[in-house]
Amino acid sequence: MGWLISFSLVLFLSVSNEMTLTVASKGQHSYADALAKSILFFEGQRSGKLPASQRMTWRKDSALQDGHYMKVDLVGGYYDAGDNVKFNFPMAFSTTMLAWSVVAFGQSMGSQLQHAQEAIRWATDYFLKSTSTPDVVYAQVGNPYGDHDCWERPEDMDTLRTVYFVTKDHPGSEVAAETAAALAASSMVFASSDPSYSKSLLQRAKEVFRFADTYRGSYNDSIGGGACPFYCDFSGYMDELVWAAAWLYKASGNQEYWDYLANNIDKLESIYYAPTEFGWDSKHAGINVLMADVSPSRSNPSGIPMLHANADKFICSVLPESPTKNVRYSPGGLLYKAEATNMQCVTAISFLLLVYAQHLSASNNVVHCGEQVVADPNRLIAFAKSQVDYILGHNPLNMSYMVGYGNKFPQRIHHRGSSLPSVDKHPKHMGCKDGTPYILTSNPNPNVLVGAVVGGPAVDDTYADSRTLFRQSEPTTYINAPLVGLLAYFNSHSMTSRYYHPNFLMDANKMTE
């Protein structure tokens, strides 16, 4: 893929004005630089009135009337990917994962901790607005069909900003519960730095969880085409309810949330349980890993053995040398689980392995995958590092899949704002179809969306770098959110393990084929 065009340093600095270009040699990476850029990406996804501190300066204010026709303020939040719709379900999951990244690895973020907190607060301020009406949760802003029919800057968009919401009569337990999880997890982030704000987030999380649990139903049915086929919930809503209860227990310590978890985990298993799945739709593996370090409760002194057993099962479903793995690997060693936006699986799953490694280390445990394979904490950490390093350029193409990191990275990402001239360069309004030539051109995107991680290469490690191949070239917030925690950890922990030989992952994969 030598024909890919790299920006020169001069061009990069002239269009981004945010970060310096870092060139990482093969096998060596600046995790500090990648961490800073992975957080900066969220500024490029902001909706609403941008603050004076905005560093992604080619982005401007957008969607300032969201919710106005409904007489509710829904300005703010994030565009989840390369379009201009605010899908609250994946936005809430991204926020939960950003918060978990800070809760677990914030001590390793250094000066980037403040920026990570700002990224979380941009979302939680919006969620406080979208849950301000009792027994109503606003679930989405923007008509996805109209939006996807246009290639238009967020600053210009004139498509319908339809507001979708769930109520007692038209429930949406998954979007409400994930919002509660995001608020609860985020309350832990601000517990020390802003106790009053933290308290507000936790209180609202409790209220929204109560609504989600009392009035059960899927938002698939309640908001119809607003959610599907874009972010349909395929795994049911019980995983979000249990996930939210787990975060509420973590944040509050209230026994009622542990009891809810204990009383409903078996229902989760009998209905939709898939302990090896994790992402914006399925929270199953995340529940098990999140709660693995929680002490047994008063009402259940032996704890919930299922949590540990299923967390182990999840680990064994991933490791390439495991006889029970249920994922594929590319020849270059990249975990491959989804045909579209596969990097969301890579970062989310790697994050869970890293967190579980901390638990195993603290409890002096290992994971047994069959009779022959024993995985200790270092093995899990090495796996996570191999995936992070693949993203940053240790792969067959020697290409970073993070925009703006390294000297070779995607130039034609599927992202409206990045691919169209900025307002600074083209002040005149650009209509719905004015952007069509820009999506079809072979020229690099004029605006560098620093830190964006794209959907990733195909299973054979090839990458076409084409805007029209959105399954590979579109970045999302839920790819970056868990990556923030991974990069924070590797920024402050050196990896010296027999497991971390560059070819270990590929060799182990071949041994089990």
Q: In tens digits, what is the pLDDT along the chain, a chain of 513 residues? A: 332 222 222 223 223 333 333 333 345 799 999 999 999 999 999 999 999 999 999 999 999 999 999 999 999 999 999 999 999 999 999 999 999 999 999 999 999 999 999 999 999 999 999 999 999 999 999 999 999 999 999 999 999 999 999 999 999 999 999 999 999 999 999 999 999 999 999 999 999 999 999 999 999 999 988 889 999 999 999 999 999 999 999 999 999 999 999 899 888 765 666 788 999 999 999 999 999 887 554 455 556 778 888 999 999 999 999 999 999 999 999 999 988 899 999 999 999 999 999 999 999 999 999 989 999 999 999 999 999 999 999 999 999 999 999 999 999 999 999 999 999 999 999 999 999 999 999 999 999 999 999 999 999 999 999 999 999 999 999 999 999 999 999 999 875 444 444 344 444 444 333
> What is the reported pLDDT for 506?
43
> What is the reported pLDDT for 300?
53
In a domain, 169, yes or no: yes
Q: Where are the alpha helices (DSSP H) in 215-283?
A: 219-222, 238-252, 255-271
CA gap 462, 1 in Å, rounded = 8
Q: Which of 474, 493, 501, 513 is catalytic?
A: 474
Structure tokens at 499: 């497991």
Asked if residue 162 lies in contact with residue 144, where contact means CB atoms within 8 angstroms, the answer is no
- Under DSSP, the state recorded for 5 is P
Asked if residue 95 lies in contact with residue 120, where contact means CB atoms within 8 angstroms, the answer is yes
Sequence-distant (≥ 6) Cβ neighbours of residue 477 within 8 angstroms: 42, 45, 78, 80, 81, 90, 91, 94
In a domain, 499, yes or no: no
- Other Cβ atoms closer than 10 A to 407: 18
Q: How many CA atoms lie within 13 A of 25 on its CB side?
A: 0
Structure tokens at 305: 């053995």
Question: For the stretch 182-219, what's the b/e string if a residue is b when 16 or more beta carbons lie within 10 angstroms of its beta carbon?
Answer: bbbbbbbbbbeeeeebbebbbebbbebbebbbebebbb
Sequence-distant (≥ 6) Cβ neighbours of residue 133 within 8 angstroms: 72
Question: For the stretch 257-283, what's the b/e string if a residue is b when 16 or more beta carbons lie within 10 angstroms of its beta carbon?
Answer: bbbbbbebbeebeeebbbbbbbbbbbb
> What is the reported pLDDT for 266?
81
Q: Which of 281, 414, 415, 461 is catalytic?
A: 414
The yes-or-no answer on residue 170 being catalytic is no
> What is the reported pLDDT for 271?
62
Burial status of residue 448 (CB atoms within 10 A of its CB: 0-12, 13-18, 19 or more): buried
Of 332, 329, 385, 381, give the one whose Cα is nearest residue 28: 385
CA gap 60, 427 in Å, rounded = 11
Q: Which of 18, 152, 174, 465 is catalytic?
A: 465
Could you tell me the end-to-end alpha-carbon distance of the chain, in angstroms, rounded to an integer?
27
Task: Report the SS3 class of residue 442.
Answer: coil
Please provide the DSSP assignment of 357-407 as one string: HHHHHHHT--EEETTTEEE-HHHHHHHHHHHHHHHHT-STT---SBTTBSS
- The owner of tokens 């677990």 is 104
Structure tokens at 384: 């996570």
Asked if residue 181 lies in contact with residue 192, where contact means CB atoms within 8 angstroms, the answer is no
Task: Report the SS3 class of residue 47.
Answer: coil
In a domain, 370, yes or no: no
Structure tokens at 429: 């309004």
Task: Report the SS3 class of residue 220.
Answer: helix
Phi and psi (nearest 5°) for 249? -65, -45
Task: Specify the amino acid at residue 474.
Answer: E
> What is the reported pLDDT for 296?
57
> What is the reported pLDDT for 473?
97
In a domain, 50, yes or no: yes
CA dihedral over 345, 348, 354, 356, signed as positive or negative: negative
Angle at 442 between CA 397 and CA 479, to 5 degrees: 50
Of 140, 138, 94, 456, give the one whose Cα is nearest residue 280: 94
CA gap 236, 403 in Å, rounded = 34
**Count of residues for the chain?**
513
The secondary structure element, H or E, covering residue 86 is strand 86-87
Structure tokens at 382: 């090495």
In a domain, 286, yes or no: yes
- The owner of tokens 């739709």 is 281
In a domain, 232, yes or no: yes
The yes-or-no answer on residue 465 being catalytic is yes
- The owner of tokens 């040398």 is 321
* pTM attached to this predicted model: 0.91
The yes-or-no answer on residue 115 being catalytic is no
- The owner of tokens 């083209």 is 426
Sequence-distant (≥ 6) Cβ neighbours of residue 498 within 8 angstroms: none
- Give how many domains the chain has, as a whole number: 1
Of 461, 340, 465, give the one whose Cα is nearest residue 3: 465
Domain hosting residue 93, numbered range: 9-295+387-480
Burial status of residue 158 (CB atoms within 10 A of its CB: 0-12, 13-18, 19 or more): exposed
> What is the reported pLDDT for 295?
55
> What is the reported pLDDT for 274?
79
CATH number at residue 172: 1.50.10.10
Task: Determine the number of helices (DSSP H) and then strands (DSSP E) in the chain.
Answer: 19, 7
In a domain, 363, yes or no: no
Asked if residue 406 lies in contact with residue 22, where contact means CB atoms within 8 angstroms, the answer is yes
Asked if residue 489 lies in contact with residue 109, where contact means CB atoms within 8 angstroms, the answer is no
In a domain, 2, yes or no: no
